[in-house]
Amino acid sequence: MHISRPFTSDDTRRLDEALHELVDSGGSPGGVIVCGTTGGDRHILTAGIVAPECGDAPPGENTLYDIASLTKVVATWPLVGRAVTDGRMDLDAPIHAYLPRIDGDAPSGAVTIRQLLAHTSGLRAETRLDHYRNTATGLAELMCREALEQPPGSHRYINRGYILLGLALAHIYARPLYELADRLWAEAGMTHTTYGPVSRARHVAPTEQRLNGAPRIWGAPHDDNAALLGGVAGHAGVFSTPADLAVYADHLLVQHAATTAIGAWLDASLAPQADIEPGLHRGLSWILADGHQTAYHHGFTGTSLYLAPYAGRYVVICTNAVYHGPARERIAPLRALARKTISTTF
């Protein structure tokens, strides 16, 4: 049963205070939260500035953020869902079945689509694509030929699985990943979401400074491996706005309520595939909480997307908290509050 329940004034006040606390404490130059429901309830909360490089421009719903690992659920996960629905992929088939032919031993190519989505593949956790330079062998084959670090089954968050999924999607559709994603986003009404790099501008949030005295990363993917792939990868590389992520969240929730193919894919993804920690499970891509009633995912740069499908509620967080270095601890209180706020309906 789907019941859309609006956010209360106390909900939005607490989220606004937490966002301002993050910014005022130096945790992020600024940020935007959008929370809403399929019933049309929508609140936009902002704090701070986009970044000093952008002058005193405040962030807003059209500020463009590097969403980092939200790429997994905004690009790769829905595209895999479409491939499964189209009969082009089988969740329990090995990834090598959807890549150019690999002759000989390829242990990492034997893991399944389901295991890659659920981070239970046992692939190497370290992803250093710079180690694959200066070779004539294709990236997919190089990755598939590597030994597993552990037997499949246990949860371990691994980016390279989504890199393989991105390569597989491009192969089975014979189209670049960014073209597949562009079509998907256009259908959902997301007009400003794109793979990077993008041009530097006042509405584009810079991220981290890697070297003292050097410019910050601005308009280019923060993730090194995505950058080595030209900005287009299954695990990272997408830029989006708070408004577009809200459109995407609303689209998923509406489709879920209507039990369309997209909604059915989301519903299937809410089934737990592996334990993360007490109270948290991994579904297909998404982290599941509150008895699998809440699904969410984070991005390293300081972004998050929360869905409560059966309540028709969503929360989008966009910050460039990585501007000040690794952001996980600094943004943790805001993320925890967002999860608590969206789950109060249960």
CA 314/CA 290 separation, integer angstroms:
14
Q: Are residues 246 and 114 in the same domain?
A: no
Using the 3D structure, point to which of 159, 174, 189 is the last residue of a domain.
174
Please indicate, yes or no, if residue 80 is contained in any of the structural domains: no
Q: Is the pLDDT score of 346 beyond 50? A: no
Whether residue 67 sits in one domain with residue 208:
yes
pTM flag (> 0.85): yes
Whether 76 has a pLDDT exceeding 70, the answer reads yes
With respect to residue 83, please indicate whether it lies within any of the assigned structural domains: no
Q: Which residues contact 276 (CB under 8 A, 6 or more apart)?
A: 155, 282, 287
CATH number of the domain within which 68 lies = 3.40.710.10
pLDDT digits (tens, 9 = 90+) for 19-30: 999 999 999 999
Task: Domain of residue 71: give its range.
Answer: 9-75+178-343
Give per-residue burial for 300-321: e unless 16+ CB within 10 Å, then b.
bbbbbbbbbbbbbbbbbbbbbb
Both 250 and 106 in a single domain?
Answer: no
Report the C-alpha gap between 23 and 12 in whole angstroms.
Answer: 17
122 and 42 co-located in one domain:
no
pLDDT score at 134: 81
Counting the structural domains of the chain, the total is: 2
Over residues 234-246, the mean pLDDT reads 98
pLDDT tens per residue, range 85-139: 999 999 999 999 999 999 889 999 999 999 999 999 999 999 889 888 888 899 9
Could you tell me the pLDDT band of residue 345, with boundaries at 50, 70 and 90?
A: very low
Give the per-residue pLDDT at 344: 63
Q: Is residue 85 part of a domain?
A: no
pLDDT of 101: 94
Q: Which one of 174, 196, 213 terminates a domain?
A: 174
* One domain for residues 250 and 304: yes
108 and 43 in a common domain: no
Q: Residues near 207 by Cβ (< 8 Å), separated by ≥ 6?
A: 66, 216, 217, 218, 222, 301, 320, 322, 323
Structure tokens at 329: 């601890």
Same domain, 276 and 187: yes
Question: Are 157 and 182 in a shared domain?
Answer: no
In a domain, 105, yes or no: yes
Q: What pLDDT was estimated at residue 1? A: 60
Peptide bond between residue 58 and the one before it cis (omega within 30 degrees of 0): no
In a shared domain, residues 280 and 155: no
